Structure 1
């Protein structure tokens, strides 16, 4: 909300001065640009393979826990465990469950880091293309239509100021129809 207020205040200040008439403003959407680039499919496939590997390992750990728990439950039901063995089995199950939860948390963090690592160079390319277009076409500001904190950053802009397709074209992607941005 603070970003939105800052943006609105900035826009009001710009509009209130005569300098606004001399400014050239544009906007774009980095997520739309990314979706149109060839490397997006490669990144998606790599993330899918990485996450599948993590899921397989998680399933293996889950199956091991379930097997041990079943053995424990059967032993308790039949009364075959001495108190010492029962306590050892319970500690083992608690340890396995804790390891499983830790693995899930680490896998989720690793997946997010992998995604960030794969996307960072692409977003750097997108930013460079935006900078190049802004300089070449003498834009003073380029805003984003991406959503930040659940609310759009750019609340209104004329389509003529949208440079999304220019960035996509510059990066070798396939421009999208104007009404889908």
Structure 2
């Protein structure tokens, strides 16, 4: 602890000396744990290591269960066993306990397999992080870069001095460099420079956020208008299809009713013709004998057929009236001629 405070004290002295000489001291820090958790290779290897650790824990638990079973068995049978058998079983139990503790220390101890594999897993990435930190420090003129997750005690750290995201971008750029073309690399560098500038300048970050919000709002407005237009278009299409379907239904319904009516009217006509040729007397006798009347429902007529029927009835009525008028005129004419002929015969 004294070494840590001494290191901080020396850093403050150096910073004060630099300020006294008119030079601005730039300080940054990284969070190694945050960087490691965001590296895909490290996460995959860590998950595999956790599976191994889980398997080791299960083996230790199985040994504990076995030891507890032996202890319970010895406790239950102790009154029936001799001293030599009791000592033998206790020795066996102690041997198993020592073996279990040794296995636990071997896997999970300070220098156990888990700790060594964690260090071996993190070391290559830590080396890459140190290289990236040096490159960033030289490019951005940082005087000090600390590790927040190390033993160094940091009582307060401002987020704008955190360069962990910059380190992650450098690591990701190194991994993807072989897969990108020159144009893509150039675009990636421009994007990273903009992100680095935003990280270093909070005011620029606020402006960029405002621009992003405006862009998102504009895109949302365009999307809403597009959805509204599509909804109106769909409504128009549905309405047009409904009208067309209604017309088609009316048309098909009229045709089917006409065909049905013609077929129903044709049957009684054929029946009447047949009965007319064979004779009415033969059909009238069974009806008179049974005393029942056979009634048939009148056929259902359409509007066109009703209009045709009314037209025929009116035409027939007019013909009868015309005939009647002609007959009356003919009768009046004959009566007049008879009256004129009667005086002539009288004079003669």
Distance in 1 between the 2:82 and 2:170 partners?
Answer: 72
Give the count of matched residue pairs. 171
User: How many Å separate the matches in 2 of 1:156 and 1:74?
Assistant: 62
The offset of 1:155, in angstroms, is: 3.8
Is 1:141–2:144 an aligned residue pair? yes
Aligned residue in 1 for 2:28: 26
Selected match of 1:124 from 101, 105, 127:
127
Greater shift, 136-145 or 46-55, is seen at 136-145
- Residues of 1 paired with 2:157 and 2:61: CA distance? 47
Q: Do residues 44 (structure 1) and 42 (structure 2) align? A: no
**Mean Cα displacement is larger for which, 9-18 or 126-135?**
9-18
Superposition deviation, residue 16 in structure 1: 3.1
- From 60, 63, 84, the equivalent of 1:61 is 63
How far apart are the structure 1 equivalents of 2:5 and 2:149? 12
Runs of 4+ residues over 4 Å off in structure 1: none
Give the Cα separation in 1 of the matches to 2:45 and 2:68: 34
Aligned equivalent of 1:13: 14
The corresponding residue for 2:172 is: 172
Match of 2:256 in 1: none
Deviations 1:78-132 (A, max 9, x none): x221111111111111111121222222221221122111111111111111122
Match of residue 94 from structure 2: 94
Q: Matches of 1:142 and 1:98 in 2, distance apart?
A: 46
Is the 2:27–2:143 contact (alpha carbons within 8 Å) kept by the matching residues of 1?
Answer: yes
The 3 A distance-change label for structure 1 pair 19 and 50 is: farther
1:85 aligns with 2:88: no
Based on CA coordinates, which of the two structures has the bigger radius of gyration?
Answer: 2
CA distance in 2, matches of 1:102, 1:46: 23
Aligned pairs (5 A) from 1:68-79: 68-76=70-78, 79=79
Q: Is the 8 A contact 2:29 2:146 kept in 1?
A: yes
Task: Specify whether residues 60 and 13 from structure 1 end up closer, same or farther in structure 2 by C-alpha distance, changes over 3 A only.
Answer: same
| Backbone CA RMSD of aligned residues | 2.6
Q: Distance in 2 between matches of 1:147 and 1:49?
A: 26
The SS at the match of 1:167 is helix
Structure 1 length-normalised TM: 0.80
Higher relative contact order (CA 8 A, sep 6+): 1
Gaps (5+ residues) in structure 1?
none
Q: Which runs of 5+ in 2 are unaligned?
A: 174-194, 203-348
TM normalised by structure 2 equals 0.44
Which is richer in helix?
2
- Could you tell me which residue of structure 2 aligns to residue 4 of structure 1? 5
